[in-house]
Amino acid sequence: MTSPFAPGIVSGRLTPDDLARNFGDLHPPLDAHEAHVAADRCYFCYDAPCVTACPTGIDIPLFIRQIATGQPEAAGKTIFDSNILGGMCARVCPTEELCEEVCVREVAEGKPVEIGRLQRYATDSVMATGRQPYVRAEPTGKRIAVVGAGPAGLACAHRLAMKGHDVTIFEARDKPGGLNEYGIAAYKTPGGFAQAEVEWLLTIGGITIQNGKALGADLTLEALQAEYDAVFLGMGLGGVNALAVDGADLPGVGPAVQFIADLRQSPDKGALAVGRNVVVIGGGMTAIDAAVQSRLLGAENVTIVYRRGREAMSASTWEQDLAASKGVRILTHVQPLAVHGTGGAAEIELEYTSDVGGKLTGTGETFRLPADQVLQAIGQKLAGETGLTLEGGKIAVTGPGRTSLDGVWAGGDCALGGDDLTVTAVAEGRDAAEDIHSKLMAEG
């Protein structure tokens, strides 16, 4: 874990005004006039490609038409019908690689309809009322356990509760929300939105959350199966892949996910310590979020190092460009060899790589960078034993999340298949809930 007392890692690098400006809303919300102007650009395509590109299949032309005709709350319901976490997805989805990338306006003019910002406008309009447009069905008497209060678990729980089932969510952390609460850059969801969304979702009724309950440490799958009619696993990936190089245990070296979580949970961002020279290892969204936020906290030099080329990075081109715009340097075709320092990290030794025929090898040519803080974002793994069939370190599933055990479903990051995106997790949780409901009702 990164130590705030490592040499060179200090708090208070920037003034409160600087921090407030740096961590303001990345995409400010549209006002009513702006939303109408943006909606008027939509062609309302038949068989719209944007709908196909959305993992949750939101009827995008319909909700945009509803905004254009002055019905933002109806638009919000259209979104929530497919994606109950549509508010968060509007803020964090890589729309530039999903719905907006295939927008006819993008293809023809290079400027898509601002689907993400319009989705935020619509969902915020509904949530501002404090009500949700759903009524819980008559109780079925069925009880379902959901492990993990992240996007997959929340989406599953809401759909099941809406159909009249009683749901208990077991969450290992102090707050619900999963990566929405702990793992997303603070500038994407300012103002406590993640918790506000959870509170709004829970108003459907029939859902109870028990915090501090982790599978393996506090719960067993066997006990849950014995007590509940069905079990859904959506606990994400709790383990962090280790940085297997000399010096990885030095103060100042730690997981990027912990750095991001500490920042998200800190009431005073100025109190969070950051290095002067920060190196982030990895090529995904976690690496980008950690690197950008290091800069926003006042780090002077921030470098992302990735072992392959940019085209292989899982972070979108838009996110890579965002990092570059904030002064983050991205070095590709390099891999870490060692972290050097006395009493704490001071330098990182890197080796150039070569990708020949799909096989990555070191070239033997090395160099060093100053690094008083090294954040690893090299992937996560399933924490603990589940007793389920695994593939590639994740729970193997078929169809709508069915696992190798009858009566147990899984979705989100802990399950095999799909992209590691909030919107994908929501879709998997929703689809599993529909399958659970069908099975339970067929059994009587």
Segment 42-100, tens digit of pLDDT? 999 989 999 999 999 999 999 999 999 999 999 999 999 999 999 999 999 999 999 99
**3-state DSSP: the chain helix, strand, coil percent, rounded to 5?**
35, 20, 45
Record the tokens describing residue 135, joined without a space: 């009524």
pLDDT value, residue 327: 97
Q: Which CATH number fits domain 143-238+382-443: 3.40.50.1100, 3.40.50.970, 3.50.50.60, 2.40.110.10?
A: 3.50.50.60
pLDDT value, residue 7: 67
Please, what is the average pLDDT of the chain? 94
Q: Where in the chain is the domain with CATH 1.10.1060.10?
A: 32-127
CA distance 18 to 110: 34
pLDDT band at 240; cut points 50, 70, 90:
confident
Of 354, 374, 373, 370, the C-alpha closest to 362 is: 354
Kindly give, in sequence order, each residue whose CB lies less than 8 Å from that of residue 162, ignoring residues fewer than 6 positions away.
Answer: 134, 136, 137, 204
Of 341, 266, 271, 327, the C-alpha closest to 299 is: 327
pLDDT band at 438; cut points 50, 70, 90:
very high
66-79: per-residue pLDDT in tens? 999 999 999 999 99
Q: In CATH, what number does 32-127 get?
A: 1.10.1060.10
DSSP bridge pairs for 116: none
pLDDT of 314 strictly over 50: yes
Alpha-carbon torsion angle 287, 291, 293, 296, nearest 10: -160
What CATH superfamily classification does 16-23+240-376 receive?
FAD/NAD(P)-binding domain (3.50.50.60)
CA distance 201 to 182: 18
Residue 173 DSSP code = S
> In which residue are the tokens 């959305």 written?
54
> In which residue are the tokens 């919300």 written?
29
| Strand pairing report for 408-410 and 230-233 | parallel
Q: Where in the chain is the domain with CATH 3.50.50.60?
A: 16-23+240-376, 143-238+382-443
Provide the percentage of residues in the chain whose pLDDT is more than 90: 89
Record the tokens describing residue 406, joined without a space: 């009858």
DSSP bridge pairs for 145: 168, 231
Kindly give, in sequence order, each residue whose CB lies less than 8 Å from that of residue 28, ignoring residues fewer than 6 positions away.
Answer: none
Q: How far is CA 236 from CA 291, 378, 429, in A?
A: 22, 16, 12
pLDDT value, residue 381: 83
Record the tokens describing residue 152, joined without a space: 């997959």
